[in-house]
C-alpha cells in the first residue's frame, strides 16, 4: 500500500509509533523513525533490522520542541531519500496530576512537545511536500481530546489543540494536495497499559462497549489507511479508534 513512499514517524521507538513503523515497512515504505534519544533510536533500529534485514529503516533523534533541530532532521531525510511522502506526528507525553498539584512547568512541557512538536514537524515538512506535489500528514490525537479526563488537564488540552491543527492545516494545505488527518486512540495496550495488573486491565476493558482494550497494530492500521491512496479524498478528519469507549 505504500510501495516506494518515504515516511517519517515521530515517537517511533515504542508503542503506537513502533507499530506504525512496522506496519509501514511491511507495506513497502522507507521509514525514518524519530526518537527522544539516540540510544533508544539505535536500539529500535537494531531490533527491526535483526528481524527484517531487507527493510529500509533509519532513525534520528531531533529535539521536536526546537524548530531548527526539526528542520535540520527533515532536511537530512529529504537529502537521503529525495522526498517525504508521509509524516506521522506521534510523539507525546501524558500526565494525571490534579489541577491542585499540577506544576505549571509540567503543563508547559506537555504543551511544548504535544503541540509545538506537531507544529514544528508540520511546518518543516509542508514545503517539502508542496514542492513534490503533495503528501499526507497524520497526527496522533486521543479520545480524551474529545471528552476530557478527570485529572491531568494538560494532556487532553494538548490533544484538543492537535485536533485544531489538523483541521486548520487540512484547509490551508489542501490546495497543495497535502492531506492532514488525525487518529484518536482509546485505551491501547502500550507499555503503560501492559504494565498494569491484569485485573485492572479487565476493569478498564469492562467500560468499553467492544469489550477489550485496543492493540497498537489496530491504531497503526488506521494510520496506514490515511497514509495510503485509499484515503485520497479524506482530509481534516479525526478518526476515533476506541471500541466506542466514549460514544
Please state, in angstroms and rounded to a whole number, the distance separating the CA atoms of residues 135 and 115.
21
Q: Say whether 84 sits in a helix, a strand or coil.
A: coil
Whether residue 202 is contained in a domain is answered as no
Q: Between 117 and 198, where is the model more confident? A: 117
The CATH number assigned to the domain holding 87 equals: 3.40.50.720
- 43 neighbors 35 (Cβ within 8 angstroms): no
Confidence bin at 194 (pLDDT 50/70/90): confident
Whether residue 163 is contained in a domain is answered as yes
pLDDT tens-digit profile of 49-76? 999 999 999 999 999 999 999 999 999 9
Q: Summarize the confidence of residues 218-243 as an average pLDDT.
A: 97
Calculate the average pLDDT of the chain: 95
Whether residue 106 is contained in a domain is answered as yes
Q: Summarize the confidence of residues 1-17 as an average pLDDT.
A: 97
Whether residue 175 is contained in a domain is answered as yes
- 53 neighbors 80 (Cβ within 8 angstroms): no
Confidence bin at 40 (pLDDT 50/70/90): very high
pLDDT given at position 157: 97
Strand partners, 137: 87, 180
The C-alpha R_g of the chain, in whole angstroms, comes to: 17
Catalytic positions: 155
Whether residue 109 is contained in a domain is answered as yes
Whether residue 204 is contained in a domain is answered as no
pLDDT given at position 202: 84
* Domains in the chain, number: 1
What's the domain range around 139? 6-186+216-241
Whether residue 1 is contained in a domain is answered as no
Q: Summarize the confidence of residues 69-87 as an average pLDDT.
A: 98
Q: What angle do CA 157, 162, 164 make, to 5 degrees?
A: 95
Residue of 155, 244, 234, 239 lying closest to 205 (CA atoms) = 244
Whether residue 228 is contained in a domain is answered as yes
Amino acid at each position: 500500500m505504500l510501495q516506494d513512499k518515504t515516511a517519517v514517524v515521530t515517537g517511533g521507538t515504542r508503542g503506537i509509533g513502533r507499530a506504525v513503523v512496522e506496519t509501514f515497512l511491511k507495506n513497502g515504505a522507507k521509514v525514518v523513525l524519530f526518537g527522544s534519544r539516540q540510544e533508544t533510536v539505535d536500539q529500535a533500529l537494531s531490533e527491526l533490522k535483526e528481524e527484517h534485514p531487507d527493510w529500509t529503516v533509519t532513525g534520528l533523534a531531533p529535539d521536536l520542541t526546537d524548530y531548527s533541530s526539526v528542520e535540520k532532521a527533515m532536511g537530512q531525510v529529504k537529502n537521503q531519500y529525495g522526498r517525504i511522502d508521509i509524516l506521522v506526528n506521534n510523539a507525546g507525553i501524558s500526565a494525571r496530576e490534579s489541577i491542585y498539584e499540577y506544576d505549571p512547568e509540567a503543563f508547559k512541557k506537555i504543551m511544548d512537545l504535544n503541540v509545538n512538536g506537531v507544529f514544528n514537524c508540520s511546518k518543516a515538512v509542508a514545503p517539502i511536500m508542496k514542492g513534490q506535489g503533495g503528501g499526507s500528514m497524520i497526527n496522533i490525537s486521543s479520545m480524551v481530546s474529545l471528552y476530557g479526563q478527570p485529572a491531568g488537564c494538560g494532556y487532553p488540552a494538548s490533544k484538543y489543540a492537535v485536533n485544531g491543527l489538523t483541521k486548520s492545516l487540512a484547509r490551508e494545505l489542501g490546495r497543495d494536495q497535502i492531506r492532514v488527518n488525525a487518529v484518536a486512540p482509546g485505551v491501547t495496550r502500550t507499555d503503560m497499559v501492559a504494565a498494569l495488573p491484569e485485573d485492572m486491565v479487565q476493569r478498564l476493558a469492562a467500560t468499553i462497549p467492544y469489550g477489550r482494550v485496543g492493540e497498537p497494530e489496530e491504531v497503526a492500521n488506521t494510520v496506514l489507511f490515511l497514509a495510503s491512496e485509499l484515503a485520497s479524498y479524506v482530509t481534516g478528519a479525526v478518526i476515533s479508534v476506541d471500541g466506542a469507549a466514549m460514544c
